[in-house]
Each structure stands twice: as C-alpha cells, then as structure tokens.
Amino acid sequence: MKLFDLTGKRALITGSSQGIGLALAKGLAEAGAEVVLNGRDAARLALAVAQVPGGRGLEFDASDHKAVRAAVDGFEAEVGAIDILVNNAGMQHRGPLEEFPEEAFQRLLQTNITTVFNVGQACARHMIKRGAGKIINIASVQTALARPGIAPYTATKGAVGNLTKGMATDWAKHGLQCNAIAPGYFETPLNAALIADPAFNDWLIKRTPAGRWGRVEELVGAAVFLASAASSFVNGQCLHVDGGITVSL
C-alpha cells in the first residue's frame, strides 16, 4: 500500500548498532527507506550498517549537543534531507533508589532524554524549513508504569513521553508528526540480565496477557506506520507495543 511506502525517504536511527535500533533499521529499509544508522563505536556501527541493505553510518555521540548539530547539519548539507528520525539511543541501570549512584542517574538522563532533545532539535530545524518530517521517540512501558529498582529509568522514559507531546505541540503547525513507541519487555541486550533471571522470566510471562517476551521485529510495523503517510494526522501519541501489559492487572 502506498500509504506505508517509504521509498524516497531517508531515516536516521540513533543507537542502532544493536537491539531495537538495528531491527528498526532493517524494517524501515525493507519498507523502502534509505537508512542512516548511528552509534558511538565505529567498529560496531560498521557491522550493523553491513546488515542493512543500502544503509550508511553516521558516527556521533547523541548526548553531545554540539557534536549532534555538526553531524546533522553536515549530513543535510553534503548528502541530503533526513525525513524521518527515530530517537532510539538508551540505557538502563538497576538498583535501589535510596542507594542509586548519582553518576549513574546523570548517565541515564544524558542517554535517555538529552539525546532525544539534541537530535530531535537538530533534525527538526531542517524539517521545519521543508514543512514536513517524522520524529519517532522510543519510550517504554515505564513511560506509564513503575517497577522496583529502576525509578531513575522510569523518570527518563516519562520525560520522553512528555517531550514527545511537547514536540507535537510546537512542531505540528510546521508539518511534523512527532510520536513515540513504548515497547514492553523485549528480548534485547538491554534486558539480558532479566532474561537470564528465572524468577523474573516466570513473573513476566504470567504478568503479560500475551504470555511471552516480545521480539524486536514486532516493533517494525508500528515504526513504519508512524514514519509513513499513514499517520499524517497522528501527533503526540505514545503507541504501546507490549503484549497488553499496560492494560491489565
């Protein structure tokens, strides 16, 4: 269907050397987009780019505002427009809130929310001039819910949800659609410790109506929808892809 066809569009995906970011890169490429993968580790980024047909790499630290502006502005000038941005860069750090290290809290803020602001602003400046653009922020079930041991992470993902609303409120008038995808529990490197924990694995399967972990490929449909003309009047929304975990007790 033409509504979902991304042919002729270019997408930048932050933190796409592995996990959800890499899966989305492959999925958007399959939908016709030219995909630009991003990461800080040049070697890992190169390996990821090799897995995406027609993919290219753009190495920068998404938490460094000046580096982001230089990379995005330089790419737009030398290569061409970034039509779709997926803000996927993220990290996790688990621990009791009363003992949570201050430096870990700051890293979470920088990686999970500052990156969304930095890259979102840099790309939006160009999208606004063109009167069109798609921004997809990767939120989490923790955007809406909390779980013991990850309060700072929950705070950052709540901020991603609200920043998404703010982006839509400020930029919809310029032709941009800014939305978020909130994954549930997926089999990714970020969740490796949880996957290896039999007690948590048992709890999750019982707690999730679908009765299983998600597969990263199952996020592609939501991303293609939000990146395409099919979502032309969808703005500021957070689409949960979570097997039903946020709608059940």
Query: Is residue 117 predicted with pLDDT exceeding 90?
Result: yes
Percent of the chain past pLDDT 70, that is, above it, reads 100
Residue-wise pLDDT tens digits, 227-245: 999 999 999 999 999 999 9
Please report the domains of the chain, with CATH numbers, ordered by start residue.
2-247 (3.40.50.720)
Query: Is residue 191 predicted with pLDDT exceeding 90?
Result: no
Query: Is residue 193 predicted with pLDDT exceeding 90?
Result: no
Give the rounded distance of the alpha carbon of 159 from its chain centre.
13
Band of pLDDT at residue 188, cut at 50, 70 and 90: confident
Query: Which pTM does this prediction carry?
Result: 0.97
pLDDT at residue 245, rounded to an integer = 97
Query: Is residue 128 predicted with pLDDT exceeding 90?
Result: yes
Place of tokens 């979902």: 4
In angstroms, rounded to a whole number, what is the distance separating the alpha carbons of residues 247 and 136?
22
Query: Is residue 146 predicted with pLDDT exceeding 90?
Result: yes
Query: Is residue 190 predicted with pLDDT exceeding 90?
Result: no
pLDDT at residue 220, rounded to an integer = 98
| Mean of pLDDT values over 133-155 | 97
Residue 36 backbone phi and psi in degrees, to 5: -110, 115
pLDDT at residue 49, rounded to an integer = 98
Query: Is residue 1 predicted with pLDDT exceeding 90?
Result: no
153 as an active site residue: the answer is yes
Residue-wise pLDDT tens digits, 15-39: 999 999 999 999 999 999 999 999 9
Residue-wise pLDDT tens digits, 48-105: 999 999 999 999 999 999 999 999 999 999 999 999 999 999 999 999 999 999 999 9
Residue in 75, 105, 117, 153 annotated catalytic: 153
- Which runs of consecutive H residues, i.e. helices, occur in 13-150? 19-30, 42-49, 65-78, 102-109, 115-130
In angstroms, rounded to a whole number, what is the distance separating the alpha carbons of residues 207 and 211?
7
The residues near 169 (Cβ < 8 Å, ≥ 6 apart) are 236
Provide the 3-class DSSP secondary structure of residue 162: helix
Query: How many residues make up the chain in this entry?
Result: 249
Band of pLDDT at residue 4, cut at 50, 70 and 90: very high
| CB burial of residue 112 (10 Å; 0-12, 13-18, 19+) | buried
**Bridge partner list, 178:** 135
Mean pLDDT of the chain, nearest integer: 97
